[in-house]
Every structure is written in C-alpha cells, then in structure tokens.
Amino acid sequence: MNAIISASELASELTGENPPVLLDVRWQLTLAKAAGEPPFDGRTAYEAGHIPGAVYIDLDRELAGAPGARGRHPLPDLAEFGAAMRRAGVSSGVPVVVYDGGQGWGAARAWWLLRWTGHPDVRVLDGGLPVWEGPLETSVPTPAEGDFEPAPGATGLLDADGAAALARSGVLLDARAGERYRGEVEPIDPVGGHIPGALSAPTNENVGPDGRFLPAEELGARFKALGASEGTEVGVYCGSGVSAAHEVLALAVAGIPAALYVGSWSEWSSDPSRPVAVGPDPQ
C-alpha cells in the first residue's frame, strides 16, 4: 500500500463508498518562545480553514508525551493516544489520511504512530494543505466515536541503545540539517553533534520545491547511496522524533522499511554519558 496520496486521489476518495477519516496535524518547529514571540498555533490555523470533515490533532499533546529525560517529543501514553484517535473517528477498518500545513513533519508523526500501533491503512497527503484545490470549511466536525485500539508493533521503534547499536551494524540516518549534524550550530538541544556512526541525511532533501516527495526512484537512489536499501536494517533520528518520522515516510515511499528513534537527539544529548561526534565524519 502506498504511504502517500495525492490531492486529486483524496478528493475522489472523499466522495467514494468508503471515505477516509481526515486528520489535520498542523505543527511547526518554532524557536519563537526564545525570541519572545508567540509560538505557532495549529488549532487556530485549523479553525481558520481546513479540508471538510478533518479533525484537528495536537501533536504536542496527543502524539507525544510530556518533554523530559526521554526527549522533547517522547511516545505518548498509548491509552491516551488511542482515546484521542477514537474521538477523531479513527477505526481499524476505515482508511485514514493525515495532512498538515505542507512541511509534512506533523502528518508523518501521526502516520508513523498509527502504523506502529497497528492501523492497517494510513496515508499522508503529499504536499499537505497547500496542494488541496477543493473547498475549505471552518466548522468543527463531531465524528462518530471510532474503535481503534493501539497495538504497538514488535519492530519499527528504537531506543538510545538500539540506535547506538544500529549505527554500527546497519544504517542510522540523522534527518536534521547538516550544520546541526556537524555540531556547527545547535539552537535547541544542550550539545551539538551526532550519534557516532550516524550518517547525515537531511529530511528536506527528500522533497521538491513544492513540498511533495521526490519520485520513489529518486528517493531509492538517494538512500542507496547512503547504504540504505531493502534488506538493510535502517533507523532514523532527528531532534525529537518528528522530522525523522518524515524521513521514515520517505523511506517507505522508496520501499525501504525503517525504524524510528523517537527520543532522538533531544534524549541522546541530555545524557552526558553518551558519546557525541562532531564534524562531517560519521565517527
């Protein structure tokens, strides 16, 4: 099953016999608080206009736990996550389409969580809301309660020790910007650099200027050049497990399964006992 869906395909499915549940996960990584500015408000953006029938999902509150030693966006309590999905109308037998404001990170986090917890049919709107040419609405829907019950998978998730081991035995990709990987700047976390052995693979290189994913063949070639291909054990991390979910999605488009280190650099760098590499060399 394809992990992404085009706007025209979504418009067709919404008028079909089994329309998908729509989730709006508008979210942005912001440093506004440090600059004294108000942070991005996804709910306000949603209420100003969303695809008809879409339900807003708050990434920070419903797709992540409280920030702390496990990172800035650790796994949510799965009972609370399941309840949030059911309130949004998510059921195991109904397809789900997730979108955000175009960056794709928030939508990918929801996609990854739903897939990892057992939902069989979840796709991301490729390009997000900016590619949608249909009408928008401002009314907030009240969907019928869904029946989705999270059942975490046995694979697809890495912890810090697993990420460290994978950097030696397989391929561990760092989805952050190259300057953060190299440790030249670190605007958020306490230490700059990367997990020793990880390879730099910035998420923004997986998409074109319009925010849509590159063709599967191009993505496959990119990841193959990094040593990641079908049959290789692959993992991804970023700052806090959000943009890395987008890279896991890009890998899925290319046909390459990959695991996510949810704690990512925000967890790794908070533990002074863990080694840190700097510069362009993975080691």
- Render pLDDT for 66-85 as a digit per residue (tens, 0 to 9): 999 999 999 999 999 999 99
- Render pLDDT for 117-149 as a digit per residue (tens, 0 to 9): 999 999 999 999 999 999 999 999 999 999 999
Q: What percent of the chain has pLDDT over 70?
A: 97
Among 238, 245, 249, 252, the one annotated catalytic? 238
pLDDT range class, residue 40, cuts 50, 70, 90: confident
The verdict on whether 36 is a catalytic residue reads no
- Is it the case that residue 33 has pLDDT exceeding 70? no
Amino acid at 105: W
pLDDT at 230: 80
pTM for this one? Answer: 0.95
Average pLDDT over residues 268-273: 96
- Is it the case that residue 34 has pLDDT exceeding 60? no
Sign, Cα dihedral of 70, 75, 78, 84: positive
- Is it the case that residue 170 has pLDDT exceeding 80? yes
SS3 134: coil
The string of DSSP letters for 4-69 reads EE-HHHHHHHHTSSSPPEEEE-------TTTTTSPPP-HHHHHHH-BSTT-EE--HHHHSS--SBT
